[in-house]
Amino acid sequence: MRAFDWIQPKTLDQVLELLPGPRDTKQRDRVKLLAGGQDLLGELKEYLVQPEQVVDLKSLPGLAALEFAADGGITISALVTLAALESSAELRTRSPMIAEAAGSVASVQIRNQGTVGGNLCQRPRCWYYRREQALCIKKGGAECFAYGGLNKYNAILGGGPSYIVHPSDLAPALVAAGASAVIRGKKGERRIELERFFTLPSEGSVLRENVLAPDELLLRVEVPPQTGWRSTYLKFRERSSYDFALSAVALALKLDGGTVREARIVLGGVAPIPWRADKAEAALVGKKIDDASCKQAAELALVGAEALQYNGYKIPLTQALITKALRKLS
Amino acid sequence: MTRELLQDKPPREPAPGKKWIRVTKVVNGIDSEVWEEVDDVQGPEWGPRDKLRLVSRAIPRVDGPEKVTGRAQFSHDVRLPGMLYAKVLRCPRPCAKVRLDLDAARRLKGVVGVVELGVDEVKWLGRPIAAVAAETPELAEDGLRAIVASYEDQPFAVTPARAQVDGAPLVNSKGNLRGLSRNTDTSEVDAALAKAEVKVKGTWRVPVQHHASLETHGIVVDYRGGDEATVYASTQGTFTIPGDAAGRLGLKPNQVTAVVEHMGGGFGSKFGIGIEGQAACLLAKETKRPVHLLFDRASEFHAAGNRSGGEHELEAGVSRAGELTAFKARVTRDGGISDGAGQPQPYIYAPKVAFAEQRCVHTNLDGHRAMRAPGHPQASFAMEGLMDEAAYAIGMDLVEFRKRNLPEGKRELYARQLDKCAELIGWAAHAHRSKWDASNAELKTGIGFGLARWGGGGGKDCRVEVRIASDGSVEVLSGTQDLGTGTRTYCASIVAEELGLELGQVRARIGRSTFGNANPSGGSTTAASLAPAVKHAAWNAKRALFDKLAELLGGEARNFACGGNLIYDATDKTRHIGWKDACAALGPNGLAAQGEWQSHLAANDIGGAQAAKVQVDTTTGEVKVLEMVAVQNCGLVLNELTARSQLNGGMVQALSYGLFEERVVDPDLGLFLNANFEDYKLAGCKDIPKMLAVFEDDPRGVIGMAEAAVIPGHSAIANAVRNACGVRVYEMPLTCDKILNGLIALKKA
Ligand SMILES: Cc1cc2nc3c(=O)[nH]c(=O)nc-3n(C[C@H](O)[C@H](O)[C@H](O)COP(=O)(O)OP(=O)(O)OC[C@H]3O[C@@H](n4cnc5c(N)ncnc54)[C@H](O)[C@@H]3O)c2cc1C
């Protein structure tokens, strides 16, 4: 990696001072924030980013709190580790799917080190993007090499002009829980539904995966009370030991004597963002979970899916996961 | 085929006092068997198995504590005063004319040496073309990036398919398809196929696999000018280092000492110093400072060899009674810039008429190197698949069909091993023994089998010394290397056994080229070569000690025996002496004895069978291996624990090969996409099934048993998947996409 200055600020204001201006997109990679470093280090080593300054967020006080409000709400600060989420009994009670998603990330070592902020803001894993030599559209090039290339792991939904999948396991679970992101920039704080935090390559900048401006960072995620919801996170990986999702389903259901009152289905590993399957959600409402409703939900969730040459298997795979998740909660 | 016996019988009658034995000779890790005439002398014996105290028992590795506490020093860990860190620049293009301007790199602060690795036209992706030595690893990398390189791209082919199309760029000036068989007369096999009652065919493919040694390739050269150098090498052959290094340093081989204290795996890929070692030597010569050059992981993937891929087009005729009447194969090896190890067909089974055409296709990628049982796992995958297809085609029990087609001379062995595997995996109770499970169940279970063969014989390359000091301490010395397999441990245990001592009383000193010669570890030849020489040295030391003691105590040396730290006259137990006192009697010089290979203490020829039980989730295509069983004859097991580790490790490596591993190179960009441990997937602990390793009772001497262990596991898994759900995956690895696509195709059919 290229040599950089290592900065350990003591206050949030100092961090904000270091960051470029809100519109200064050209300067975005001049300063990089480091949380657990599990993603950033890979990027630095492959020269995908070559910052002049790396700012250690871990030296900031007060960003590692995991709080459970009396009303059932949950506040997860950006520097809470994945291991802390995974091992919190209270979280597992309030929202099993968030705890399960955290526990499904990578390996024990990476979960001990990796943070919620880093997990949500991590960059794509597409193997073209991750090779310095391939100047793909995500790196300012003209082409998505995965589109006509070796795309077994790429998107079947929401793709174009880039076909990355969002790599985060936490993101689908938090979106399904209806979480909001609290963002801090030079001009102050803003709050946004986490679902709107992530951007499709066709909507936002193809170079980015979320709405953060160059002067902003993620402070925390707030999860509304999950009372009455049952939930689960099912992740399919090629290798059990540690692997990103080929497909994943975050499912939350409000059931009333076996009948679905409300449903949230968010897919991971299949689209450039956590993919909300709203048609499938709507179709489930008022139904019991049985073979017919599972089949219908699974089909509706994948409406619009377009397979590239090598990733067609993700369609039946995702449908199977949806069915498994529904059966598990019923 | 690389390891066929030249002849079945010795070339002639042995001379008086001599005898003929089969030995395995290794060239670059590929073994072949030849006859050798050796002295027919009386020597030490391993003795009755039930009387052994240390040898063949379960002994934890003597270097275990050092390794788990991190004290063990691997080549990577070597730090020397004034040492520079070096890195290599890899050619980023598969085929290019290269021009380098090193000036800017040389001027960089902290960069001490820069060398070009002498290539104008690069023919394979990732070939090291320059190297930089600097005060820190980071500065070395900065130095690499300061090199101004211009690459004039040439057309390339990085997949076998691209290399075989009309007008493909020539990877090899003599053509991309090489090593074509001379025998092209297929008339006999074609006639047999035409007459066959039932025919089966298919094309099986295996990808390129990487050795994935945890310690990467490289060396640390301690040369500061003058006429001596020490090279710390991560190698499978201590004695492959000095000559190589001396050439680059401008020294004589005996001015270079190789040190291989511990090394982190090689699997056949680490002989000699390689391009990386050459670069380190050139840099040391230029800077006159010690240089540390060990590949990073990406370089390891690009430029440290691999197991060749292959395509096996097979066709077989089979009678309804279960006999393979005809077999025809065309094998195309994918060995990158080199030829690829032979992938022998028909593998083990013996059709009545067989024909195999062998050839290789060249691509602009790193050449293959020997890898644990070169050629055999590839051949096994195709052949075992074909065996199941043939059995299904005639509706015969998969084990029974195998037993009917075993090779002459091996029928009893393999039948017994197949039966044992079948028993241990629960074959009799399995519902789908002659057809696969066609039910609509979501989770399905299947079982598969495979066979293995290997030579594993030794040879007379080892010289071992045993020293007994007057303070009672004992050392065994050999230049051999321990690949993590337990060599150091059996060196000590064999000596302790022979001298009647406890294991902790003997210290094994190995991994240094100033000690006695030893063969490189390739073709499973180390144990069968070294252990007999260790035994012989210990036996000679014991005899020399007894001679001394007979002078001292009276009695006859040949009646002496030892045990429990005591030496005594077996005919008169009152005549005895404690170990310490006995050694004190040796005087300040102590005693040293040499040992050489003893053919009667080693043997050759391994056979094994494995079975796998898997569960397939037909909705997701997930394959979960539930159980694996390995049954093998192993000769004298030197250490039950390390031998078991070899069988378990073989099953693990085969599982990983079958389910996950594959080199991925973009054919258009010429870019290696998964040259790291995230995208190149190796099995981890959660992927490992319940494993059972069984050694058959085997009265023979020591045989190298580690390679056979890796041959059939993935074949058994692929067969188990087919048995479970009907999907025949013809191309490894068996990932969920292939299984889901296969299930969809089955449904349509
Ligand atoms: C081998 C391997 C396997 C992995 N497997 C998985 C997996 O299965 N599932 C999964 O979800 N992830 C996986 N990861 C990805 C990732 O490393 C972890 O998920 C981890 O949570 C990242 O967190 P971190 O704190 O280490 O991030 P960092 O590397 O510190 O940061 C990641 C990125 O986010 C930015 N960032 C960090 N914090 C903030 C903030 N508060 N505001 C704004 N930007 C911020 C950084 O600048 C950087 O660009 C894997 C990584 C590796 C190396």
pLDDT in tens, A75-91: 999 999 999 999 999 99
Q: Is there a contact between A215 and A20 (Cβ–Cβ < 8 Å)? A: yes
Domain B49-72+458-601 in this protein, CATH class: alpha beta
Q: Is there a contact between B708 and B414 (Cβ–Cβ < 8 Å)? A: no
Residue A105 beta carbon below 6 angstroms from any ligand 1 atom = yes
Closest CA to B350 of B392, B290, B409, B292: B409
Strand partners, B228: none
Sheet holding A53-56, edge to edge: A5-7, A53-56, A31-34
- Per-residue pLDDT for B34 more than 80? no
CA separation for the pair B188, B6 (Å, rounded):
24
- Per-residue pLDDT for B2 more than 50? no
Q: What is the pLDDT of residue B18?
A: 82
Residue A110 beta carbon below 6 angstroms from any ligand 1 atom = yes
Residue A106 beta carbon below 6 angstroms from any ligand 1 atom = yes
pLDDT in tens, A154-199: 999 999 999 999 999 999 999 999 999 999 999 999 999 999 999 9
CA separation for the pair A228, B122 (Å, rounded):
65
Q: What is the pLDDT of residue B1?
A: 30
Residue B316, C-beta contacts closer than 8 angstroms, at least 6 positions apart: B193, B196, B199, B200, B201, B324, B326, B327, B328, B351, B386, B390
Residue A96 beta carbon below 6 angstroms from any ligand 1 atom = no
CA separation for the pair B254, B242 (Å, rounded):
7
> CB of A46 within 8 Å of any CB in chain B?
no
CA separation for the pair B182, B172 (Å, rounded):
20
Peptide bond into B733 cis (omega under 30): yes
Where does B76-154+217-294 sit in CATH, by number? Answer: 3.90.1170.50
CA dihedral A80, A84, A89, A90 (to 10 degrees): -10
Query: Of all residues in chain A, what percent carry a pLDDT higher than 70?
Result: 100
Q: Is there a contact between B730 and B202 (Cβ–Cβ < 8 Å)? A: yes
- Per-residue pLDDT for B24 more than 90? no
Peptide bond into B377 cis (omega under 30): no
DSSP 8-class letter at A273: S
Question: How many CB atoms are located within 10 Å of the residue A20 CB?
Answer: 17
Q: Kindly determine whether residue B736 and residue A150, on different chains, have CB atoms separated by under 8 Å.
A: no
Please report residues of A whose CB lies closer than 8 A to that of B659. 239
CA separation for the pair B511, B483 (Å, rounded):
10
Q: Give B16's pLDDT tier (boundaries 50, 70, 90).
A: confident
> CB of B679 within 8 Å of any CB in chain A?
yes
Residue A36 beta carbon below 6 angstroms from any ligand 1 atom = yes
Q: Give B28's pLDDT tier (boundaries 50, 70, 90).
A: low
Q: Kindly determine whether residue A246 and residue B736, on different chains, have CB atoms separated by under 8 Å.
A: yes
Residue A186 beta carbon below 6 angstroms from any ligand 1 atom = no
What does the pLDDT average to over A28-43? 97
DSSP 8-class letter at A288: B
- Comparing CB atoms, the residue among B659, B660, B740 nearest residue A317 is B740
Going B66 to B70 to B73 to B74, the CA torsion angle's sign is positive
pLDDT in tens, A206-253: 999 999 999 999 999 999 999 999 999 999 999 999 999 999 999 999
- Comparing CB atoms, the residue among A3, A128, A310 nearest residue B138 is A3
Show the tokens assigned to B508. 């094994």
CA separation for the pair A156, A164 (Å, rounded):
9
Closest CA to A165 of A317, A250, A271: A271
Query: How many Cα neighbours within 13 Å face the side chain of B599?
Result: 14
CA separation for the pair B540, B465 (Å, rounded):
10
Q: Give B181's pLDDT tier (boundaries 50, 70, 90).
A: confident
Closest CA to B708 of B632, B617, B598: B632
Where does B309-456+603-748 sit in CATH, by number? Answer: 3.30.365.10
DSSP β-ladder status, B256-259 and B229-233: parallel
Ligand 1, atom 31, lies closest to the CA of A118
pLDDT in tens, B689-734: 999 999 999 999 999 999 999 999 999 999 999 999 999 999 999 9
- Per-residue pLDDT for B255 more than 90? yes
Closest CA to B346 of B371, B309, B312, B323: B312
CA separation for the pair B317, B301 (Å, rounded):
41
Give chain B's mean pLDDT: 95
Q: What is the pLDDT of residue B27?
A: 57
pLDDT in tens, A24-35: 999 999 999 999
Show the tokens assigned to B184. 């092209």
> CB of B92 within 8 Å of any CB in chain A?
yes
Please report residues of B whose CB lies closer than 8 A to that of A127. 664, 673-674, 679
Helices (H), chain A: 12-18, 40-45, 82-86, 89-94, 96-103, 108-113, 116-121, 170-176, 194-197, 278-284, 291-301, 314-329
CA separation for the pair A183, A217 (Å, rounded):
6
3-state SS class at B158: coil
CA separation for the pair B539, B561 (Å, rounded):
11
Q: Give B88's pLDDT tier (boundaries 50, 70, 90).
A: very high
- Per-residue pLDDT for B8 more than 60? yes
Q: What is the pLDDT of residue B37?
A: 83
pLDDT in tens, B628-670: 999 999 999 999 999 999 999 999 999 999 999 999 999 999 9
Element (H, E) at B725: helix B713-725
Residue with tokens 């540390």: B292
- Per-residue pLDDT for B471 more than 50? yes
> Do B309-456+603-748 and B76-154+217-294 fall under one CATH topology?
no
CA dihedral A85, A88, A93, A94 (to 10 degrees): -50
3-state SS class at B229: strand
Residue B332 Cα to chain centre, angstroms: 22
What does the pLDDT average to over A134-150? 97
CA separation for the pair A115, A80 (Å, rounded):
5
Beta strands in B207-352 (DSSP E): 218-222, 229-233, 256-259, 291-294, 309-318, 324-334
Helices (H), B333-404: 376-394, 398-403
Q: Per-domain residue ranges for chain B?
A: 3-39, 49-72+458-601, 76-154+217-294, 309-456+603-748
3-state SS class at B611: strand
Count contacts between A and B (CB, < 8 Å): 78
How much is the CA Rg of chain A, to the nearest whole Å?
A: 19
Show the tokens assigned to A115. 């943070």
Q: What is the pLDDT of residue B21?
A: 75
Show the tokens assigned to B719. 């067969």
Q: Kindly determine whether residue B621 and residue A313, on different chains, have CB atoms separated by under 8 Å.
A: yes
CA dihedral B270, B273, B275, B280 (to 10 degrees): 130
Query: Of all residues in chain B, what percent carry a pLDDT higher than 70?
Result: 97
Q: Is there a contact between B143 and B132 (Cβ–Cβ < 8 Å)? A: yes
Q: Give B3's pLDDT tier (boundaries 50, 70, 90).
A: very low
Q: Which residues, numbered 108 to 137 in chain A, qualify as contacts with chain B under a Cβ-Cβ cut-off of 8 Å?
A: 125, 127-128, 130-131, 133-134
